[in-house]
Structure 1
């Protein structure tokens, strides 16, 4: 139960739902116990009146006794019906308070988990797969809801009913009550033993379900690759294995439960047999009446449902504990990056790196070594280098997706660690290397950074990104719905929509992380011409492979194995005759081959 202590704050928040709920539980159970006493009196009435009725056989008053007897039974029956109707009303109120409270807690938990996910840094997402993250926010939360709702409701209901019934039984006859309750210790031991097995099986099921969800999510996302390499049968086989493992774990749990429930019913059956046997002897001795036996049988049968529910509730609690443990593992994680409190209301665009070193925490690969450079407001910085040289890492550090190991990054002469990230990032346009578009309309993808769309800013951003004409060719134009990850569009179109998304906010700093690789030379030139007009007086950082893309930059940085090996303008670097000049010559040769 220690993992479920996390939920105490929600119980305190919704205490005015729990307290009336407990009150309704108590009242409903009082009206559940009283009918047993009424039935006992009715049974005594039957046995006594049958004897009286027999004594008046052959007399005129026998009909009168029959009428009185019938009316009395009718009144007792009506009373029992009224009592159960009142109990049903309070049971309705009980569910309306406790079950509705559980839905509110479920809502709060999902929001807390989602908000916490968003606060965690990229390193967290590199180490955890999407399927597992989704499973903890959905399936695990649902299992916890079953604890805060039905499990707690039935636990309180069972506890109150036990107290009322046992106290009523001992008030009638202590000896008979003791014999009726003899099987309960055996039941408690059985529950304790089985609960351990249920907890183990529940943990295994949740872990396997996470693996299965991750597998399915990943395969659906990569369905194009699967079909291209004709690996449908292979993935089907792996899915069958994972699904089979999940089924095996579930069957193990079912086997435990299959043993549990009949055992509980057996104990209740033994209680009924003991009630009839011991109660019959008590009646013969004159200690109790026959109606008391009927009353005790009703009590025993009333305990049947709570005892049966006890096993189900125990399963719910064990599953909730296992799920809450998994949720707590992530909620206890603190983000590696904490925002500063310096708000840059009007960003100028000065960027400086001072002896920056960075190693990816999850892989241990050192991506940057002693990086130092400066970009003044309004300048066009280009970064070029071979694959794995650290170019994209540079872009991520400017966005402060990670913190440096040592050294310092300054934005407008303020250390980036002291800058408020919301005010900073809202003024930066970032086009990542791996384009991601949402399953929404093109219009909403472009206007993703805006709270409200005004005028023709979406259309203008599309024109600046040289994708307007492509969008107008679609039947629904800007209302065209994109498939998952923008699968409806070609690679070049996705890149340009992503560029339009970055441009629409008119950022003070614009970062392109090799996002022109999928467009042709003519479209690239159109985009760059538009950018030179749009970004006039604004800082832009362009990471690229093609030198033709960056030759007009104010400053070019050449990177090799995480280090800056050269920097300067296009002409200065060519005159140096170093790495940049070699890359330029190689690219010219490749272009000549393509033209031939």
Structure 2
């Protein structure tokens, strides 16, 4: 076998070096394995160290949970000793009982014996009740702590998501973002709650039980504990296989659900193209895969309890065999054997939980590492001077160039524009010319790659983001409405907005009559992403939401593309009054939307090709006139 060794000096020309596997000492492999284990452990500790601040915050839950764990285990151990005393009492009393056969003392001895047994039974019952009570307290501290940590961690992630720039969301899938705040946090909670609880229980119980066992008989203790490490390792291996196969099943189920959802959502297309049989065949393939993976998990899962039963049974056999020898030697009593069997059964579940806890800790570390990846991302959209003041609306772009950081697309090239407060500018251009990029830069979803943007003569980077965006009304090209009432969607920018203001904004957007036609009026819930509304109604509701907050700067990003010409004219006439005292930026590919503008800018491939008033641009006989005449002819047709 030839081993290629990297990063070593090359051998002289014409020479080669061959490594024999047998010459590599086993210690080398052992050291490599130890290094990998140490590295994995270090990564686990490093990832989970993020949770230390929460454990410190809820330290009293952790402290009291540890105290209750100790007390509950003490009440679990005492009954085993009571059983030993009871059995030894029975054996000793029987010998004495038969010595007094036909004697009046025999009945008195029997009464004392039965009272003693009853007392042991009552004490055992009391111990069991007390153990159950303190186990309840354990869960009320450690599991409750995990729920608090889960709540805080979800809030931390969600709050951090809010701070991240738009470029972050362009590079991430919604499903992955949701998985990190739900699935990953749930796995972390399993570590903070059940894993810590079972880990503490295992440590406390081992210390107490082994101490008692060794104090009674060291030789028997060693034999009893021999199968338990094997049990823990076996459970760990089986549990890892179960977890891996469970995750494969989840992925298979996800694919199956996605396929069914798409099939039902596109049922009209599916039927139109007569693809029912093909769709059913694909569903059968996905379903078969899910079935086969589920059967595979069932086969592995079937090994779990037989392994536990075999190894626990082996411990009991060793207790009886070795314990019998100790009894014959006079070093133990039959009560001790029963006590040891109870101790073995006590240790069985914690040892089983050790493998489960280790797996859960590793999964939690992997999930926390995924969470930490996002938490370590910091936004570059920050205020330099954090100015909070009212703006008038003067806008100035100076030689602005912008390149999208995720794709490298150059959206704007040396763009300059000056809009005085109260003026209206129309930005026209074809798809991909950079129009919407201007809206993103004005709302500071992105920062310019080079050049400068000023509002009221102050660099936009100096403004407090919340203050700036709170004075801008933005109607995006892709309308997004929430699964709420119409009234609450209009109020989104200002939740305490009076209903009269909502009504006026809806009238200005020419949507009032439509809303009044709905059975529940303004309280109509519009469904997910506004699915119950038409495209034009959604755009008009988005306009109403923007103008209802009375912004100083109004940005309309191609917001009338889904309405007919008549409705467009009505909305534009209403907007004429609304735009009178505020700066407005009308972005569109339709010339008709530019009729309200004081001047017009024609964009092409991120550069200004023409600018001026309508009459000036028409006289140039350039791109604007060509676009105007083409759209005019289309409307006439």
Fold agreement, TM-score > 0.5: yes
**Distance apart, 1:310 and its partner CA:** 2.4
Deviation (angstroms), 1:127: 2.0
Tell me which residue corresponds to 1:160: 204
| Displacement after TM superposition at 1:349 (Å) | 0.8
- Match in the other structure for 1:78: 122
Whether the 8 Å CA contact 2:82–2:120 is kept in 1: the answer is: yes
Residue equivalent to 2:373: 329
Are 2:382 and 1:338 aligned?
A: yes
Q: Distance in 2 between matches of 1:496 and 1:215?
A: 34
Per the alignment, do residues 549 and 240 of structure 1 end up closer, same or farther by CA in structure 2, a change over 3 Å counting? farther
Name the structure 2 match of 1:545. 589
Q: Does 1:439 align with 2:483?
A: yes
Q: What secondary structure, in the 3-state scheme, does the structure 2 residue paired with 1:274 have?
A: helix
CA offset at residue 323 of structure 1? 2.2
> Match for 1:271 among 287, 291, 315?
315
Once residues 222 and 345 of structure 1 are traced to their aligned partners in structure 2, the CA distance between those partners, rounded to angstroms, is 50
* Larger CA deviation: 495-504 vs 574-583: 574-583
| Structure 2: 5+ residue stretches without partners | 1-43
Equivalent residue for 1:284, pick from 314, 328, 340: 328
Equivalent residue in structure 1 for 2:141, among 62, 72, 97: 97
* Aligned partner of residue 384 in structure 1, secondary structure: strand
Query: For the Cα contact (< 8 Å) 2:227–2:311, is it kept in 1?
Result: yes
1:325–1:253 Cα change, 3 Å: farther
User: Does the Cα contact within 8 Å between 2:142 and 2:193 map onto a contact in 1?
Assistant: yes
Partner of 1:56: 100
Deviation of 1:203 after TM superposition, in Å, equals: 6.9
Deviations 1:299-318 (A, max 9, x none): 11111222222233233323
- The equivalent position to 1:407 in structure 2, one of 451, 465, 471, is 451
Cross-structure match for 1:580: 624
Q: Answer whether contact 2:235 2:356 (CA < 8 A) is retained.
A: no
1:486 lines up with 2:530 in the alignment: yes
Q: Which moved more, 1:340-349 or 1:283-292?
A: 340-349
Specify the alignment match of 1:505 in structure 2: 549
Larger mean Cα displacement after TM superposition, 406-415 or 226-235: 226-235
CA 1:126–1:214 in structure 2 vs 1: closer, same or farther (change >3 Å)?
A: farther
State whether structure 2 residue 159 is matched by structure 1 residue 120: no
8 Å contact 1:367–1:393 — kept in the other structure? yes
2:400 alignment counterpart: 356
Q: Residue by residue, what CA displacement relative to the aligned partner does 1:270-328 show, whole Å, maximum 9, x if unpaired?
A: 11110100001100110111111111111111112222222332333233223222222
Unmatched tracts of structure 1, length 5 or more: none
Give the secondary structure class of the aligned counterpart of 2:432: coil
Please report how far the alpha carbon of residue 551 of structure 1 lies from its aligned counterpart in structure 2 after TM superposition: 2.6
User: Quick one: structure 1 residues 245 and 277, their matched pair in 2 at CA, closer, same or farther if it must change by over 3 Å?
Assistant: same
Matched, 1:570 2:619: no
**Is residue 520 of structure 1 aligned with residue 545 of structure 2?**
no
Alpha-carbon distance between aligned partners in 2 of 1:130 and 1:215, rounded to the nearest angstrom: 18
CA–CA separation in structure 2 for the residues paired with 1:480 and 1:230: 37
Cα offset, 1:256, TM superposition: 5.3
Following superposition, the deviation at residue 265 of structure 1 comes to 3.6
Distance 1:115 1:252 in 2: 41
- The answer to whether 1:151 aligns with 2:195 is yes
The aligned counterpart of 1:299 is 343
Matches for 1:161-310 after TM superposition, within 5 Å: 161-190=205-234, 193=237, 258-310=302-354
Query: Structure 1, residues 47-68: CA drift from partner, whole Å, max 9, x if none?
Result: 1111222222233322222211
State the Cα RMSD in Å. 2.7
Say which SS state the counterpart of residue 568 (structure 2) adopts.
helix
Range with bigger deviation, 299-308 or 463-472: 299-308
When structure 1 is superposed on structure 2, of 235-244 and 572-581 the one drifting more is 235-244
Q: 1:200 deviation in Å?
A: 5.7
Q: Sort the Cα spacing of 1:415 and 1:480 in 2 relative to 1 into closer, same or farther, 3 A.
A: same
Checking the alignment, whether the CA contact within 8 Å between 1:132 and 1:210 is kept in structure 2 is no
Q: Secondary structure at the match of 1:447?
A: helix
Choose from 477, 488, 503 the match for 2:521.
Answer: 477
CA distance in 2, matches of 1:234, 1:340: 59
Alignment partners' CA distance in 2, 1:233 and 1:25 = 60
* 1:382 aligned residue (423, 426, 430): 426
